[in-house]
Structure 1
Amino acid sequence: MLDVGERRLTIVSNRGPITYTRVDGERVASRAGGGLVSALRGLVRSHRVTWIACAVTAEDRTVASEQRGHAVPEEDAAGNPFLLRLAEPDPADFDRAYHEVANPLLWFIQHELYDLGQAPIVSDDTRAAWAAYRRYNATMAAAAATEYDADALMVHDYQLYLVPAMLRKAGVTTPILHFTHIPWPAPEAWRLLPVDLRTELLHGLLGADIVGLQTARDVRNFLATCDEHLTEVTIDFDLRTVHVVNDHQERDVLIRHYPISVDPDEFYEHITAPEMIAATAELTESRPWHLILRVDRTDPSKNIDRGFHAYDRLLTRRPDLHGAVSLLTLLDPSRLSIPAYATYFETVQATCAEINARHGRDGWLPIDLRIGDNFPVVIAAYQQYDVLLVNALADGMNLIAKEAPLLNETDGVVVLSERAGAYEELEPFVLGIDPLDIEATAAQLERAIDLPAADRAARSLELKQFLLKHDVSRWIDLQLGDLDALTEARR
């Protein structure tokens, strides 16, 4: 095995750990704190990392021009040093790649969100957008190919499905791992993409040495997808490999699952910040006897509207809870430039207003809907909830279901969708639901509220212990271990 201190790693992702803007004529570097960046912070802390990301803002593009095709020293939000290279795709290509192919086309296919009576409509315009997606991937691959003097290349997510094969074609021999953060659906879902496009997508991923996914179910679906949609590969379902023959070369691609998680220490640090303490004190003072919590982006896959209807059913069947319970809903608006997202956001707000009008009374708001990115309130709510509702239609993992229980101080119960990736790991500790069934969801919310204190405490403790053991470091270590084994096998 490679010594941990000797690893040189190249990360390739759509968005990077830093975004540049210009304020009052001065350049401002904003350190990102999203899920991907937070998850990869352990790599930056412990290894020599070169991070290749897309130049998105105008100032990003200025920085990319100044870099002249080279990676330059930077620091992440925790002060850990790394090298940053911003690739500069054509802005029009990036716009179509991101706003037409990645979202909504691939996102909706992989979360199985399309109403097939209306969408998608595949046309010449779809193929033009796909060509832009291909050119965007080529730009990212070209940048990575010049920065691959590393022990491993780690490519991330659905925006960059074509990059591994492009790197392979460019002559890169470094082990490549591509990790997909969103769900991988069953083979039938991929028939929504034309044959040539889905074939290109699958072969793009199979350019990697390891295809990483979130769950064992995703691995089974990926193997089945290759088996059904590709003719020139051989699938071994037991060994979880795809045997590929390209350009007279044969390779076995490993298909593995690495359940992403969170950094407990990072979240424990949050609760000691003054703004977090103030938000917690305010919520403690104002909270109802029973606090149900949901924290989501306004994405159709999060199933917020059905969650509201399930809560409506709970209030109808349990009038004794009126005035004693509240559904605190913290929503972060997402991708509102995409019509389907904007329409869904409007629907969610309308449903909330209807339920509050039907059940509310002076001094009691059944649904406390708060829109915007307010991290201190999120951290406070994590500590205070009695029931956490996660009823996603589909999720690669859903880190809310892991973050919140770590910080919870009230023996809160998690009501979790069986279609969230996290359910595969957390089933023994949560109350599972079919996200389409609002009656069953209401019943599980009721059960969570009524659970005896001893049962609540036992579930909470066991879940915390599991999450502390299965943290983000384990997610990283599993991937690095498989990459190390590949390197050793080639020596």
Structure 2
Amino acid sequence: MASTQDAPGAHGSAKVLVASNRGPVSYQVGDDGSLTSRRGGGGVVSGLSAIGPDAGALWVCSALSDGDREAVRRGIVGAGPEAPPQRGGGGRRAGEDGVLMLDIPADVHADAYNGIANSVLWFVHHMLYQTPLEPVFDAEFRRQWASYEAYNRAFAEALAGRAAPGAAVLVQDYHLTLVPGMLRELRPDLRIGHFSHTPWAPPEYFRMLPDDIAEQVLRGMLGADRLGFLTRRWADAFEACCARFADGLGDTRIGVHGLGADADFLRERSHRTDVTERMAALRDEIGSAPDGTARRTIVRVDRTELSKNIVRGLLSYRQLLDDHPEWRERVVHVAFAYPSRQDLAVYRDYTAEVQRLADELNSQYGTPDWTPVVLHVKDDFARSLAAYRLADVALVNPIRDGMNLVAKEMPLVSDEGCALVLSREAGAHEELGEDAITVNPYDVVGTARALHEALSVGPEERAERSKRLAAAATALPPAQWFLDQLHALEEQPGPSA
């Protein structure tokens, strides 16, 4: 497919490009009209930092808020592939920040992000549909799919316009499954990678998508030279889908990169003053057992995504208190359930059910001196780290999860070591299962039994298990995770097109 970007001299100068829905920086507009920025974290941010300022790196992302769109309008982070870097006006230019933010129309973004990415592709890969009623792939779905195509095309064109000849492009996640194929048509000279941060559905579930849409997703992904997955299980599922619906992988190669926890950052950050203060506040909420000893803690830290299985976790805790009344007043379930995707009704309903069930448990079992469930729903990173440090048991029981870094982070940070109760459906189970207590996420009775076992582990064994879990959890730290993908992509034979 011909494009003006294919013309000599029309290429950009970025040698390494990352594309994702959410970028490494976000903006807020103050009451006085000033813009303040906030940096994000994660493996890709660490990786880009690790390659150094002279690498010619550019991050292409979407404007997500009014502040982001204002930053684009003021020329601080760029507006699209045709926008030159901004050098004046007091704002940082795109070249200095290495960020190009795309001001995609809000309605197109909403259709693509909420309508398709989060309400269709996420549900398929996490196998979350209540199939007697959903999904329904009607005319409204087709309208939203057209927005998903337009959204992906905007990224592909921006990348094509900014990439230097032969540049490496690393596309992130299910929001941008069509970008590799679109970008390959625009710029056959590029080395293109895509990384999936979620599970991949097995063929029997993936085929739920309309045939043409399933094929379009796979063809889009197969436009990449290399595809990355968090575990071998998810990679195998993708290959099985390609064998069934797309005549195999073609020239595309597959890699597995199990993202690990950032040990240095977490250990340093978890001992700052704000974390210590929040530990004291949590200890007050947890209180002491009737005999004056410290209460044991079962800790979970999640966003209220449907896949995290928070409701069944609370039901399992209730089963524990019924089956083992000796734990009453001696244990507290510290549950942090931070709201996620509250613009979708099903997520609002789920968050409300988590709150309702926690209140019911406290009403049913609580005493004047014991609150069985300490629930917090306001996001607070320092408080999460405080809970990590206090954890005796980590409960990580997702229905299905690409990796789940909480399972890796909590044993690393816990002061006395913690026992890990881990769903066999979490990607992290592939690396941590040997030293975790494995559960079927649907089995409430089995999970209650696992919680009792975890609470009964002695301090020495708990510390030893935590040590081994921490070693496995940090085997591939975020910066190395990113660099391994980049190097593998750059070492591949050049594009054949």
1:43 aligned onto 2:48: yes
**Partners in 1 of 2:383 and 2:106 — Cα distance?**
36
Question: What is the aligned partner in structure 1 of residue 185 from structure 2?
Answer: 169
Question: What is the aligned partner in structure 2 of residue 281 from structure 1?
Answer: 280
**Partners in 2 of 1:81 and 1:293 — Cα distance?**
41
Matches within 5 A, 1:248-259: 252-259=251-258
Question: What is the aligned partner in structure 1 of residue 352 from structure 2?
Answer: 346
For each residue in 1:204-226, what CA deviation from the matched residue of structure 2 results, as whole angstroms up to 9, or x when unmatched?
A: 11010011111100011000001
1:197 aligned onto 2:213: yes
Which one of 426, 434, 451 corresponds to residue 457 of structure 2? 451
After TM superposition, which residue ranges in structure 1, 4 or more long, deviate above 4 angstroms? 487-490
Structure 1 residue ranges without an equivalent (≥5): 1-6, 74-79, 236-241, 244-251
Tell me how large the CA RMSD over aligned residues is.
Answer: 2.1
The answer as to whether partners of 1:72 and 1:83 remain within 8 angstroms in 2 is no
Deviation at 1:313, TM superposition (A): 0.7
Question: What is the aligned partner in structure 1 of residue 476 from structure 2?
Answer: 470
TM-score w.r.t. length of structure 2:
0.88
Which one of 195, 198, 201 corresponds to residue 185 of structure 1? 201
Deviation at 1:400, TM superposition (A): 0.6
Question: What is the aligned partner in structure 2 of residue 77 from structure 1?
Answer: none
For each residue in 1:209-253, what CA deviation from the matched residue of structure 2 results, as whole angstroms up to 9, or x when unmatched?
A: 0111111000110000011112xx3x3xxxxxx11xxxxxxxx10
Structure 1 pair 382/158, CA: closer, same or farther in 2 (3 Å)?
same
Deviation at 1:30, TM superposition (A): 2.7
**Partners in 1 of 2:140 and 2:208 — Cα distance?**
15
**Partners in 2 of 1:311 and 1:151 — Cα distance?**
51
Structure 1 pair 488/145, CA: closer, same or farther in 2 (3 Å)?
closer
Which one of 308, 317, 320 corresponds to residue 314 of structure 1? 320
For each residue in 1:431-471, what CA deviation from the matched residue of structure 2 results, as whole angstroms up to 9, or x when unmatched?
A: 11100001110111000011123321211111122233332
For each residue in 1:302-335, what CA deviation from the matched residue of structure 2 results, as whole angstroms up to 9, or x when unmatched?
A: 1111111111110011111111100000111011
Deviation at 1:26, TM superposition (A): 3.0
The answer as to whether partners of 1:88 and 1:139 remain within 8 angstroms in 2 is no
**Partners in 1 of 2:445 and 2:231 — Cα distance?**
28
**Partners in 1 of 2:72 and 2:158 — Cα distance?**
11
Structure 1 pair 81/42, CA: closer, same or farther in 2 (3 Å)?
farther
1:290 aligned onto 2:306: no
Question: What is the aligned partner in structure 2 of residue 266 from structure 1?
Answer: 265
Matches within 5 A, 1:362-377: 362-377=368-383
The answer as to whether partners of 2:412 and 2:467 remain within 8 angstroms in 1 is no
**Partners in 2 of 1:44 and 1:176 — Cα distance?**
20
Deviation at 1:93, TM superposition (A): 0.7
**Partners in 1 of 2:144 and 2:484 — Cα distance?**
35
Deviation at 1:71, TM superposition (A): 4.9
Question: What is the aligned partner in structure 2 of residue 399 from structure 1?
Answer: 405
The answer as to whether partners of 1:18 and 1:29 remain within 8 angstroms in 2 is no
Alignment-mate amino acid for residue 44 of structure 1: S
Deviation at 1:256, TM superposition (A): 1.7
Alignment-mate amino acid for residue 382 of structure 2: P
For each residue in 1:265-296, what CA deviation from the matched residue of structure 2 results, as whole angstroms up to 9, or x when unmatched?
A: 11122123221121123334554521000101
- SS of residue paired to 1:155: strand
1:121 aligned onto 2:120: no
1:482 aligned onto 2:481: no
The answer as to whether partners of 2:46 and 2:478 remain within 8 angstroms in 1 is no
The answer as to whether partners of 1:261 and 1:402 remain within 8 angstroms in 2 is yes
**Partners in 2 of 1:417 and 1:395 — Cα distance?**
9
- SS of residue paired to 1:40: helix
The answer as to whether partners of 1:175 and 1:487 remain within 8 angstroms in 2 is no
TM-score w.r.t. length of structure 1:
0.89
Question: What is the aligned partner in structure 2 of residue 91 from structure 1?
Answer: 106
Structure 1 pair 81/289, CA: closer, same or farther in 2 (3 Å)?
farther
The answer as to whether partners of 1:292 and 1:328 remain within 8 angstroms in 2 is yes
Structure 1 pair 440/72, CA: closer, same or farther in 2 (3 Å)?
farther
Question: What is the aligned partner in structure 2 of residue 335 from structure 1?
Answer: 341
**Partners in 1 of 2:416 and 2:295 — Cα distance?**
12
Alignment-mate amino acid for residue 22 of structure 1: V
Structure 1 pair 286/358, CA: closer, same or farther in 2 (3 Å)?
closer
Question: What is the aligned partner in structure 1 of residue 115 from structure 2?
Answer: 100
**Partners in 2 of 1:41 and 1:84 — Cα distance?**
15
For each residue in 1:340-377, what CA deviation from the matched residue of structure 2 results, as whole angstroms up to 9, or x when unmatched?
A: 11111122122212222221111111111111111111
**Partners in 2 of 1:27 and 1:133 — Cα distance?**
32
The answer as to whether partners of 1:148 and 1:172 remain within 8 angstroms in 2 is no
Alignment-mate amino acid for residue 178 of structure 2: L
- SS of residue paired to 2:450: helix
Alignment-mate amino acid for residue 219 of structure 2: H
Alignment-mate amino acid for residue 227 of structure 1: A
Deviation at 1:120, TM superposition (A): 1.0
Question: What is the aligned partner in structure 2 of residue 246 from structure 1?
Answer: none
Structure 1 pair 458/72, CA: closer, same or farther in 2 (3 Å)?
farther
1:14 aligned onto 2:21: yes
- SS of residue paired to 2:163: coil
Question: What is the aligned partner in structure 1 of residue 10 from structure 2?
Answer: none
Alignment-mate amino acid for residue 204 of structure 1: G
Instruction: Report the count of equivalent residues.
Output: 460
Deviation at 1:81, TM superposition (A): 5.9
The answer as to whether partners of 2:298 and 2:334 remain within 8 angstroms in 1 is yes
**Partners in 1 of 2:222 and 2:403 — Cα distance?**
22
**Partners in 1 of 2:21 and 2:145 — Cα distance?**
16
**Partners in 1 of 2:445 and 2:223 — Cα distance?**
45
Question: What is the aligned partner in structure 1 of residue 34 from structure 2?
Answer: 27
Question: What is the aligned partner in structure 1 of residue 439 from structure 2?
Answer: 433
Which one of 49, 59, 64 corresponds to residue 72 of structure 2? 64
Alignment-mate amino acid for residue 453 of structure 2: R
Alignment-mate amino acid for residue 257 of structure 1: V
**Partners in 1 of 2:275 and 2:234 — Cα distance?**
36
**Partners in 2 of 1:142 and 1:467 — Cα distance?**
37
Structure 2 residue ranges without an equivalent (≥5): 1-13, 88-94, 287-293
For each residue in 1:377-413, what CA deviation from the matched residue of structure 2 results, as whole angstroms up to 9, or x when unmatched?
A: 1111111100000000011100111111111111211
- SS of residue paired to 2:112: helix
**Partners in 2 of 1:28 and 1:269 — Cα distance?**
29
